[in-house]
Chain A
Amino acid sequence: MDPASNLPMLLMGAWLVPLVSFVLILFFGKHMGSHGKYAGHLATLAIVTSAVLSFTAMFGVWLPSHPLPGAAHHGEEHDGEHAEEGGNLHVSLGTSTAGLETQFTVHPVAFLADDSHAQDDSHEAPNDHAAGEAHGHDAHANNGAPISHSGEWYTICKFGSLKLTIGYYIDSLTVTMFCMVSLIASCVHFYAIGYMHDELHDFTDPEVTMRDGKKLKRPGRFYRFFQYLSLFCFSMFGIVIAGNLAMVFIFWELVGICSYFLIGFYIERKSASTAANKAFIVNRVGDFGMLIGMMALWSSLGTFNFGDTTDAEGKIVERGMFSQLHTEENGYRLQPTESMIAEEKRMCPAHSDSIIESSAESASSDVHAPPKNTAGQWLLFIGGVGVFCGCVGKSAQFPLHVWLPDAMEGPTPVSALVHSATMVAAGVYLVGRFFPVFTPEALLVIAYIGCITLLIAATIAITATDIKRVLAYSTVSQLGYMMLSLGLGGWVAGMFHLITHAFFKGLLFMCSGSVIHGVHTNDMTEMGGLRKKMPITAYTMLAGCLAIIGAGIPLSTIGFSGYYSKDAIIEQAFSFGSQNPGHVILQWAPVVGAFITAFYMFRLWYMTFAGEPRNQHRYDHAHESPKVMTVPLVVLAVFAIGIGWTLPGTNLKVTNLLEQSRPIGTLATSQGTLLPDLVIPDEHLSHEWEIKKPAGIAAFSTAAMGLLLATIIYLWKKLNPDELKQSFKPVHGFLWNKWWFDEIYGALIIAPTMLLARLVSRFDLGIIDAILHGSAAVCKGLSKVVYAVFDRTVVDGMVDGIAGVTWDLGLGLRKIQTGSLRQYIMFIVIGTVVLFIAISVVQNTGLVGSLGTDLTN
């Protein structure tokens, strides 16, 4: 199987099948069974098809043709067991694809650095890390470009050398994301068939009261829900497969509009429509920043493409963003291009001076020399931060995180999808995909944003009593983890956490949905003891909770999926903190976050499932959900537990896969240019034992403490939560009101805007209108004079004169127009004859000499 042609085909299939389903449901949805019953089946079939295609792409094409690296992490060589496994796998895969081995020759890094690169663009094999190890982590031992397949399907438009295309950029991250998204979406679809069955008949909305006091009764919208779900999946796949930033933006907005539709699914509810509006508008704020970033990059790089464009022979015709910024000559380190420097110089002459100075000084090998190459760096910084703004909006980072908790107004399957695999994942995914473009300074911004988000959201989650709201803030907090990790240079850790989180958060949300479905309320204070009534939900959710707090045996390789990813993040934070003492908060924030996470997650679980029922009536009516909902729960639970594991007998694990698509030039420890003290450490350094040990212990102990605290309060009831609430009343109020964010925004943004609008309106009415009325009156008076003097005599006279002449002329000429067809024909004939005669006269008298010669030819 040729991955260069098969991967795009398979993934395009997986991408487009939901679109087909969307279109079919759009046009025929109403007629698919009663209330569009079969629309659900169709959409589910479509997403399952996508999943099958995605997994085919993964296991049928990607893995056979791109063997995983022998040892995934340098750090794990300390364990000793993985190195062996890796070797075995390499051999076994190699024999099955013997023909391909020659094509993907493994170049030792040493050769890469020295000779002039026998690198055939995207087919570059992953570098042998053993060789990399031998060379140490010096600047030259940087890995080459990751294996990727890029290309274009369709060109939307072209402006000179600039063009917008529909293309693809496929590396292992893309394939992994495809598998993850399609798998979770499939589960959600199945789940939704059960969850949304209320919509299969006329639906009475208990939360909407009409003017006459009755509850709103409306036809079910089952098919429409699945229509949106299909479009949602299609859009998400579009972002993942996108080969350029413009295409990402298109599907970015599509995801936004889908979330708008889905959050506002119960459009009659005021809260739902407001939440939908909020989500959409807040996202637009972020997208504005993203547009600015895109403009900055496009104007200076001239391309949106991630990968290189090659012609039929594999020669590079046009270089993509990544290879423009990480040039071979520069040892694949991030450096602004010539065009960026020129652009920056043109815009800000001040910076250009610093180049001249710095170029002289940088010759001396002083590490603490004044910043060099500031020109271009700023542009790159703006571009990176701008694009990150979009991710801030989409992934609900501080300060645009306010929409996500409100987004739970949509049906629970939507929340599960939005919070795990699609919408919020898009932001993190884009940061990961766009990672090579971020300068260390931009990464620092990302890290701080992530850190703040993580802490704020976690604290808010402590006090929330709405089961879905707890999970929503938990999502925001976990997204903060991912951003933090990415910002600290932990690319694999961040992306890994994205994937593990998708599974367990999808699971958690669906479990909460199952609970809500069973007890018909969101409020945890009315639940309790439900594990007896709904055991499957309870224990799958317990698995999810253990996964999210990162339960596992410390300093070993045994644990739930969250254990691997969260520990990797904390290790990276420790690694970062050890090199940047000034940013120590970034080191400890995730640890604190782990404590809070463990606390609120188990608070949730205990309040819901453990103890005695708080509301007997609801408890009596609670029931386990149908099979169509619980089976996806079980499936997801299995994944939530095991997604971080290595497949026995192989070295197939998610991190190894992700390692294959590690962005070019990120492995080396890099240093800030604008902030020279800033050091983004090599991710593999985090696996060093001296970092791994304290980090692992810190992570485990904090999580255990959080768990313990929750158990003390809510299971053993040694501490009364109400008393705690009373004694920490101001803090509780602060957290209960979500740090007053909505109120702050109201006061800081909305109120001034309204005030300004009022002022402007007053200005408009009072001053501009007065001027207008005045000038109108003046004009009116003037025109009266002009009318009497000029218009009546001069203009009218002229017009009348022309009319009179025309009239007389017409009277004369009308005699020619007899209305007789035959006479007209005679005129034509005579005209022709006269024309001929005239031409011949002209020709013969030599008036026009060239006419005759033309005729003779």
Chain B
Amino acid sequence: MQNLILANLLTEPIGVAHYVVVSAFMFTCGVLCMATKRNVLGVLMGVELVLNAASINLIAFGSPFLRNDANSLGLDGQLMTLFVIVLAAAEAAVALAIALNFYNNHDSIDVDRADELLG
């Protein structure tokens, strides 16, 4: 296990694990954002964060600077990230449309009011 002191971080190269930690942090933030925001658009932003975390992971796994071995994803990581970004854009468009529709129907964007599916 890598030593996590700051001096070490400043003088030694960082590895995939560091990126993964950042990604994990961002992922957690996104998930919490989804879990706590009552605003539909807040939830949407949480989703964006989560997707972004995924992108970071993919880039990190494919980066030659972090992991120069045969198991590296290589360019596939970047290609995957491209797809993630594009799909995130598509997702944002649809989610926004849903939000607008939601707003049209409920006159509000509070997700807590969308409980018609209550069992």
Direct contact of A and B (CB under 8 A): yes
B106 CB → nearest A CB, Å: 13
Query: Is B112 touching A822 in the complex (CB atoms < 8 A)?
Result: yes
Query: Is B34 touching A820 in the complex (CB atoms < 8 A)?
Result: no
Provide the B48-88 mask, 1 if CB < 8 A to any CB of A, else 0.
00000000000000000000000100000000000000000
Pick the most buried of A810, A815, A817, A821: most chain B CB atoms within 10 A of its CB: A821
In chain B, residues 82-119, which have Cβ atoms closer than 8 Å to a Cβ of chain A?
111-112, 114-119
Query: Is B118 touching A818 in the complex (CB atoms < 8 A)?
Result: yes
Query: Is B31 touching A829 in the complex (CB atoms < 8 A)?
Result: yes
In the docked arrangement, what's the CA distance between A857 and B69, Å? 11
Q: How many residues of A contact B (CB 8 A)?
A: 16
In chain A, residues 158-215, which have Cβ atoms closer than 8 Å to a Cβ of chain B?
none
Whether, in the assembled complex, A819 has its beta carbon less than 8 Å from a beta carbon of chain B, the answer is: yes
In the docked arrangement, what's the CA distance between A814 and B118, Å? 8
Whether, in the assembled complex, A794 has its beta carbon less than 8 Å from a beta carbon of chain B, the answer is: no
List the B residue with the shortest CB-CB distance to A811. Answer: B119
Question: Chain A contacts of B115 at CB under 8 A?
Answer: 818-820
Whether, in the assembled complex, B35 has its beta carbon less than 8 Å from a beta carbon of chain A, the answer is: yes
Provide the A814-856 mask, 1 if CB < 8 A to any CB of B, else 0.
1111111110011011000000000000000000000000000
In the docked arrangement, what's the CA distance between A817 and B119, Å? 5
Question: Chain B contacts of A826 at CB under 8 A?
Answer: 35
Whether, in the assembled complex, B26 has its beta carbon less than 8 Å from a beta carbon of chain A, the answer is: no
In the docked arrangement, what's the CA distance between A228 and B2, Å? 83
Whether, in the assembled complex, A813 has its beta carbon less than 8 Å from a beta carbon of chain B, the answer is: yes
In the docked arrangement, what's the CA distance between A742 and B62, Å? 84
Query: Is B71 touching A822 in the complex (CB atoms < 8 A)?
Result: no
B44 CB → nearest A CB, Å: 11
Pick the most buried of B35, B37, B38, B112: most chain A CB atoms within 10 A of its CB: B35
In chain B, residues 19-59, which have Cβ atoms closer than 8 Å to a Cβ of chain A?
31, 34-38, 43
Query: Is B31 touching A822 in the complex (CB atoms < 8 A)?
Result: no
Query: Is B35 touching A816 in the complex (CB atoms < 8 A)?
Result: no
Question: Chain A contacts of B116 at CB under 8 A?
Answer: 819
Query: Is A817 touching B71 in the complex (CB atoms < 8 A)?
Result: no
In the docked arrangement, what's the CA distance between A821 and B37, Å? 10
List the A residue with the shortest CB-CB distance to B112. Answer: A820
A271 CB → nearest B CB, Å: 66
Majority DSSP secondary structure for residues of B touching A: loop
Query: Is B119 touching A821 in the complex (CB atoms < 8 A)?
Result: no
Query: Is B35 touching A829 in the complex (CB atoms < 8 A)?
Result: yes
A852 CB → nearest B CB, Å: 16
Query: Is A825 touching B31 in the complex (CB atoms < 8 A)?
Result: yes
In the docked arrangement, what's the CA distance between A781 and B71, Å? 74
Q: A813-B119, A814-B119, A857-B71 are in contact. Are A821 and B114 (CB under 8 A)?
A: yes
In the docked arrangement, what's the CA distance between A816 and B117, Å? 11
Provide the A795-815 mask, 1 if CB < 8 A to any CB of B, else 0.
000000000000000100111
Question: Chain B contacts of A820 at CB under 8 A?
Answer: 111-112, 115
Question: Chain B contacts of A821 at CB under 8 A?
Answer: 34, 43, 111, 114
B62 CB → nearest A CB, Å: 16
Query: Is A817 touching B117 in the complex (CB atoms < 8 A)?
Result: yes
Question: Chain B contacts of A815 at CB under 8 A?
Answer: 119
In the docked arrangement, what's the CA distance between A822 and B117, Å? 14
A823 CB → nearest B CB, Å: 8
List the B residue with the shortest CB-CB distance to A814. Answer: B119
Question: Chain A contacts of B114 at CB under 8 A?
Answer: 819, 821
Query: Is B118 touching A822 in the complex (CB atoms < 8 A)?
Result: no
B95 CB → nearest A CB, Å: 12
List the B residue with the shortest CB-CB distance to A828. Answer: B31
Contact of B36 among A813, A816, A817, A822 (CB under 8 A): A822
List the B residue with the shortest CB-CB distance to A817. Answer: B119
In the docked arrangement, what's the CA distance between A814 and B115, Å? 13
In the docked arrangement, what's the CA distance between A822 and B71, Å? 38
A826 CB → nearest B CB, Å: 5
Question: Chain A contacts of B118 at CB under 8 A?
Answer: 817-819
Query: Is B34 touching A825 in the complex (CB atoms < 8 A)?
Result: yes
Question: Chain A contacts of B112 at CB under 8 A?
Answer: 820, 822
List the A residue with the shortest CB-CB distance to B31. Answer: A829
B39 CB → nearest A CB, Å: 11
Question: Chain B contacts of A810 at CB under 8 A?
Answer: 119
Query: Is B35 touching A825 in the complex (CB atoms < 8 A)?
Result: yes
Question: Chain B contacts of A825 at CB under 8 A?
Answer: 31, 34-35
List the A residue with the shortest CB-CB distance to B111. Answer: A821
In the docked arrangement, what's the CA distance between A618 and B43, Å? 95
Query: Is B111 touching A822 in the complex (CB atoms < 8 A)?
Result: yes
In the docked arrangement, what's the CA distance between A828 and B37, Å? 16
List the A residue with the shortest CB-CB distance to B36. Answer: A822
Query: Is B119 touching A822 in the complex (CB atoms < 8 A)?
Result: no
List the B residue with the shortest CB-CB distance to A813. Answer: B119
Question: Chain A contacts of B111 at CB under 8 A?
Answer: 820-822
Question: Chain A contacts of B71 at CB under 8 A?
Answer: 857
Question: Chain B contacts of A817 at CB under 8 A?
Answer: 117-119
A800 CB → nearest B CB, Å: 23
In the docked arrangement, what's the CA distance between A826 and B43, Å? 13
In the docked arrangement, what's the CA distance between A820 and B119, Å? 11
In the docked arrangement, what's the CA distance between A813 and B116, Å? 16
Question: Chain A contacts of B38 at CB under 8 A?
Answer: 822
In the docked arrangement, what's the CA distance between A205 and B40, Å? 75
A806 CB → nearest B CB, Å: 14
In the docked arrangement, what's the CA distance between A820 and B36, Å? 11
In the docked arrangement, what's the CA distance between A857 and B112, Å? 43
A626 CB → nearest B CB, Å: 68
In the docked arrangement, what's the CA distance between A819 and B115, Å? 4
B15 CB → nearest A CB, Å: 15
List the B residue with the shortest CB-CB distance to A821. Answer: B111
B17 CB → nearest A CB, Å: 13
In the docked arrangement, what's the CA distance between A139 and B44, Å? 91
A816 CB → nearest B CB, Å: 7
A519 CB → nearest B CB, Å: 77
Pick the most buried of A816, A822, A828, A829: most chain B CB atoms within 10 A of its CB: A822
Question: Chain A contacts of B36 at CB under 8 A?
Answer: 822
Question: Chain A contacts of B31 at CB under 8 A?
Answer: 825, 828-829
B25 CB → nearest A CB, Å: 15
Query: Is A819 touching B35 in the complex (CB atoms < 8 A)?
Result: no
A325 CB → nearest B CB, Å: 57
B4 CB → nearest A CB, Å: 20
B100 CB → nearest A CB, Å: 17
List the B residue with the shortest CB-CB distance to A815. Answer: B119
Provide the A221-259 mask, 1 if CB < 8 A to any CB of B, else 0.
000000000000000000000000000000000000000
Question: Chain A contacts of B34 at CB under 8 A?
Answer: 821-822, 825
In the docked arrangement, what's the CA distance between A817 and B117, Å? 8
In the docked arrangement, what's the CA distance between A817 and B116, Å? 11
Query: Is A816 touching B43 in the complex (CB atoms < 8 A)?
Result: no
In the docked arrangement, what's the CA distance between A825 and B30, Å? 11
List the A residue with the shortest CB-CB distance to B33. Answer: A825
In the docked arrangement, what's the CA distance between A821 and B43, Å? 9
In the docked arrangement, what's the CA distance between A819 and B114, Å? 7
List the A residue with the shortest CB-CB distance to B116. Answer: A819
List the A residue with the shortest CB-CB distance to B37. Answer: A822
A317 CB → nearest B CB, Å: 41
A822 CB → nearest B CB, Å: 5
Contact of A819 among B37, B43, B117 (CB under 8 A): B117
List the A residue with the shortest CB-CB distance to B46. Answer: A825
Pick the most buried of B36, B37, B43, B112: most chain A CB atoms within 10 A of its CB: B112
In the docked arrangement, what's the CA distance between A817 and B31, Å? 20
In the docked arrangement, what's the CA distance between A814 and B114, Å? 16
Q: List 21 A-B contacts (CB under 8 A).
A: A815-B119, A817-B117, A817-B119, A819-B115, A819-B116, A819-B117, A819-B119, A820-B111, A820-B112, A820-B115, A821-B43, A821-B114, A822-B34, A822-B36, A822-B37, A822-B38, A822-B43, A822-B112, A825-B31, A825-B34, A829-B35
Q: List 18 other contacts, CB 8 Å, given A817-B117, A820-B112, A822-B35.
A: A813-B119, A815-B119, A817-B118, A818-B118, A819-B114, A819-B116, A820-B111, A821-B34, A821-B111, A821-B114, A822-B34, A822-B36, A822-B43, A822-B112, A825-B35, A828-B31, A829-B31, A857-B71
A-B complex: 6 closest residue pairs judged by Cβ atoms = A814-B119, A819-B115, A817-B119, A819-B118, A825-B35, A821-B111
